[in-house]
Amino acid sequence: MFWFFRIGFWLQLVIIFIQLFFNYVMYDSEQGLYFTVRGNIYAHTTQPHLPNLHPLDSVIHKTPATSVSRSKYGVTTLDTIGSKTIYMFNGQQFGFLRVDYTEFTKAFTVTNMLWFLADISFFLLWLIITYQIMKILQSIKDEAVFIQQNIKRITFIGWAFILMTFVEIVKDQVFFLVAKQHLQDTGLTLISNVNWYDLVPISLYSVSYDTMNHSRFQGIALGLIILVIAQIFKNGFELQKEKDLTI
């Protein structure tokens, strides 16, 4: 267990740099290395191509996607060439929104910078969480589990999960605003009935860290459970102190 997390920690460190490099840095023979953001949004409206089927079902049958997930308002597919599409249908009109990860946007917009910051803070938080788990496992190895530092470590992990969930929620909100603007630009009104959380499956630029699940509240629940465990550890710490002073 300990070695698993120790190897995981260093592996994560390497992966972070590779990820950041490939997601945000581009090389051009003219410009050299420059900062960029992966992902480009398109929005279109079409008629359903297979009238017998429900349009969303026809999407599932026709798309060569690696993963498909359904939500109330649409179907999200992640296909092999590195683009993600959400297909929507409101009864009359059929539309789709596509995010292409193979293309780059060079714009230094507020949204892009927000995404970059969110990604970096995520990587760092995951790294620190792995480090803390490593330390906790080390303390188990040293046979001193109920110590003050472990309470701090577990409390940190709990708050980190809650914070990450809030960052994700903000990210979803920002993505929804961007997507809405794009859809309005193409004249697709379909989106008006859709809530931001129905669009969550296509988080804009992060390929690796987003889930296909549109509920973010599991993260908060997880954080709260970890905080409860921290409280249990606090109690355990008191008992341990009592036990140590019993001769």
Partner 1 sequence: MPIIVNLDVMMAKRKMSLNELSEKVDITLSNLSILKTGKAKAIRFSTLEALCKALDSQPSDILEYREE
Binding site for partner 1 (CB under 8 A): 242, 245-247
b/e map 101-140, b = 16+ CB within 10 Å: beebbeeeeebbeebbebbeebbebbeebbbbbbebbebe
Of the pair 144, 224, the CB lying nearest partner 1 is at 144
CA angle 216–218–221, rounded 5-degree value: 125
* Shortest separation between residue 146's beta carbon and partner 1, angstroms: 16
b/e map 215-245, b = 16+ CB within 10 Å: ebeebbebbeebbeebeebeeebeeeeeeee
* Shortest separation between residue 247's beta carbon and partner 1, angstroms: 5
* Shortest separation between residue 147's beta carbon and partner 1, angstroms: 17
Pick the closest to residue 167 from 103, 130, 216 (CA basis): 216
Three-state secondary-structure class, residue 75: strand
* Shortest separation between residue 234's beta carbon and partner 1, angstroms: 18
* Shortest separation between residue 125's beta carbon and partner 1, angstroms: 39
* Shortest separation between residue 157's beta carbon and partner 1, angstroms: 31
Of the pair 211, 240, the CB lying nearest partner 1 is at 240
Of the pair 81, 245, the CB lying nearest partner 1 is at 245
Of the pair 1, 239, the CB lying nearest partner 1 is at 239
Instruction: Give the whole-angstrom CA distance, residue 41 versus residue 182.
Output: 7
